Amino acid sequence: MKSRILPILIALSAALVPMVSHAENIIDIDGAESTAIGIYIKDIATGEVLVDHNASLALTPASVTKAVTTATALATLGPDFCFTTTVELDGKRSSTRSRWNGNIIINASGDPTVGSTEFKITEGFTDSIVSGLQRLGISTIAGDIIIRESLSDAGPCPTWEVEDIAWPYGAGLFGFNYRGNAVRLYPGRGNSVPASDLQAKTYKSDRTDVLRGVGSNDVMVWTTDKNLKNKAWNVMVTVPDPAGVYARLLISRLKEAGISVAGKKYEETDSRTTVYVNRSPSLNVMCRNLMKRSDNLFAEGMLRALRQGESRDKCIKYEKEFWAMQGLPSQYTIIRDGSGLTRANRLSPLFLAGVLEWMAASPLAADYLDYFPVAGVDGTLKSFLAKTRLKGHLALKTGSVSAVQTYAGYKLDAEGKPTHVVVIMVNGFFCSRADLRKALEKFLLDTFE
């Protein structure tokens, strides 16, 4: 098998290097090709290793990091875990009964799904608060809205690229999150953003781009003159203070329902009345959604759920210790986030394959397998191998950042059961991503002929 695979690897390497006239464009100072390829494919039942090419090489994993994050969360928290956000009144009623002398307190849990349009169960978060106050007969809140956040080092990961964090895919995780921590800008309408302090400056350009500094309310928008003249044209951007944005949105919604918030200062008390308890979808539902769509915010939420309220570093330390206890080689493993958006992560194909194999042998195998996009069927793998005999027979998490393309998951039999672990990691390629994918499709078809 290995002798048959070697020519395929050579062909794959050749496919990644474009035809150029100067060798220095593709050769590093040591004379080695600068494209790094790591592949590990193993038969789960027999233990036969079909391909081991640079399997111990620590490479940038991109979003296949999510396969590790979700595996750790599933194995340690269980499939039924959910985030709980409680909304309470502290203080007491006045003699008029309809007035509450105290505050609305939202006890946030780091739930990344609150208000998410991905789940109908969370779409009614605000309406449920309104309904809860109406059931209690409250028409005036004398105090204010207080959102308590226990998440330390909240916001974007420090190693994320600054050009990513203004876009919705680069939204940081906070103690309180709402609707993906993003709002819609309408530059043609004067850049006003309801309930947000964002200030937008617009510039003419031949393409659309946005930039916002970490923690900054200033957003720079570059787009075409045609877009800037169109009042309906819009772009989604992230916000640095989701809790502050939501507090103002809630006040506005309460006012519409005939409930005023006076904003008077009241000290918090131990006397609490429950208004509403919001529970997120189960971990299984969240992880399936985030893996199929490759949602960074949800993935960061799963990482931080490992040790709720503790720092990102402590959650990562716990994750690495868990896999070390399972005997996985992790000496060259670097994890900086849960999503893989940072280019600072380093995982080897061997480590990723170890996670996949361990999960396939666990009682949670069916739950975990259900998270993965399926080749030619759904998610980020819908077009991959779609018109080949491998359609429906590979379940792989994809990963891509600049000059990085990765895949990690399983080969499936006719009944949809995993037969092989499959990890392919390519870093530093020079060809187009489309050409790379074609080369990888051919490689997989040749491997599993």
How far is the C-alpha of 209 from the C-alpha of 125, rounded, in Å? 32
Predicted pLDDT at 119: 82
How far is the C-alpha of 119 from the C-alpha of 281, rounded, in Å? 8
CB of 94 within 8 A of CB of 262? no
pLDDT tens digits, 78-105: 999 999 999 999 999 998 889 999 999 9
Handedness of CA 183, 185, 189, 192 (dihedral sign): positive
Predicted pLDDT at 431: 82
pLDDT tens digits, 53-69: 999 999 999 999 999 99
pTM for the predicted model, two decimal places: 0.91
Predicted pLDDT at 193: 67
Predicted pLDDT at 29: 24
How far is the C-alpha of 102 from the C-alpha of 105, rounded, in Å? 9
Predicted pLDDT at 417: 97
Predicted pLDDT at 15: 53
Whole-angstrom CA distances from 329 to 55, 293, 334, 363 are 11, 29, 12, 22
Q: Which two tokens stand for residue 97?
A: 């009964």
- Consecutive 10-residue runs of the chain (449 residues): their mean pLDDT? 51 49 29 72 96 93 98 98 97 91 96 89 83 96 95 94 96 96 86 73 93 91 92 92 94 96 89 94 97 97 96 96 92 93 96 98 98 96 96 97 95 97 93 89 92
Correct CATH for 2-80+282-447 of 3.40.30.10, 3.10.20.30, 3.10.129.10, 3.40.710.10: 3.40.710.10
Whole-angstrom CA distances from 256 to 127, 139, 249, 252, 253 are 11, 11, 11, 6, 5
**DSSP 8-state code for residue 357:** H
Domain with CATH 3.40.710.10 in the chain: 2-80+282-447
